[in-house]
Structure 1
Amino acid sequence: MKPLIRLWTMVGAGLIVPRPTGIVYTNQTDGTGCDHPELEGAFVPISNDYDHPSYEDSLECALCRIFPEGWGSPSADTCDAVDRLLSGYRATTGIRVDRSRMEDSREAWLWVTITEHPDHDFLGFGECSAVLTWPNSD
């Protein structure tokens, strides 16, 4: 069994970039559905520096507002809202919802594509897929 890191008490948002690291990450997702998907990879905290005037302006809080009830795969409208949100933060420039993985995505476990950008705090991954995760709504 590989080591497992539970992100259930994480503050902010992060990316899990699939890689053969030997470490598996999980988070509580899908609102009160309380799903616990797992993914082996590298965890990258993202936009967690509180450079905003208040928590209500943070990426984490904004993501929670987009998914107020959790439950199920995101709609196209929800994905559009997430893309608009991500385009507004320096740390998430070049990160977009992966529309081909909508059925695999849930509240607090959203598949995205990353196009590497000089503003990112993580470098050398190139273009790749990842899971964007944050504290879930329940």
Structure 2
Amino acid sequence: MSTSLVIQLYDSAGLGLILLWPTGVLYSNQTGGNSCLHPQAEGAYLPLVDELVDLEGLLHQFFVGPQWMGRCDRGLDEETAREIERILGLSYTTRELGLRVDRARLEDSHEAWVYVEVPAQPGGDLALLGPIPTSRGILTWANSD
């Protein structure tokens, strides 16, 4: 009987992307605001660091703000998807990756666990990722509870 390795991201700092790939490695985080959910996904984790833009802080502010008040645990709406994409557009790092909130997975997304579409990446000297085909991923960051 094989057991998958589970990496807990609870104490990691900053925004990260779990690329959904069959790696045998599961990632989990505490998410969903005050609900403290513990979803898991198999893949490869990529920190999305931008020293000039605090993406995690901006996302945190939005999810504890008046729309969600730290209680976003049962899906996202279109307005929230647009706001997440606006925030991602502020950073060279996430803008270059071309991440978009996966509208087909809005019901499965929640605070600190957002399904995204990852366009094909050509790779190259300055690329964050090597060449990969179009794929899916999950944006995750520290829970706001």
The alignment's TM-score, normalised by the length of structure 2, stands at 0.85
Match of 2:67 in 1: none
Question: Which contiguous aligned blocks of 4+ residues in structure 1 show a shift greater than 4 angstroms?
Answer: 117-120
Kindly state the Cα deviation for residue 105 of structure 1 after the two structures are TM-superposed.
0.4
Confirm or deny that 1:112 pairs with 2:94: no
Select 2:140's aligned residue among 126, 133, 136.
Answer: 133
Structure 2 CA distance, aligned partners of 1:126 and 1:67?
A: 31
SS in 2 for 1:67: helix
Change (3 A) 1:120 1:31: farther
Structure 2: where are the runs of 5+ without partners? 65-69
Q: Which protein is bigger by CA-based radius of gyration?
A: 2
The equivalent residue for 1:102 is: 106
Per-residue Cα deviation, 1:47-106 (whole angstroms, up to 9, x for no partner): x242x2xxxx40110111121114221111111101111122111121110111001101
- CA shift at 1:117, angstroms? 6.6
1:20 aligns with 2:19: no
Q: 2:13 aligns with which of 11, 18, 39?
A: 11
Aligned length: 132
The 5-angstrom pairing of residues 81-100 of structure 1 reads 81-93=83-95, 94-100=98-104
Letter in 1 for 2:135: C
**CA-atom RMSD in angstroms:** 1.5
Structure 1 residue 127, shift from structure 2 partner: 1.5
Normalised to the residue count of structure 1, the TM-score between the two structures is 0.89
Match of 1:58 among 54, 58, 62: 54
Could you tell me which residue of structure 2 aligns to residue 40 of structure 1?
42
Q: Tell me by how many angstroms 1:35 deviates.
A: 0.6
- What secondary structure does 2:59 align onto? helix
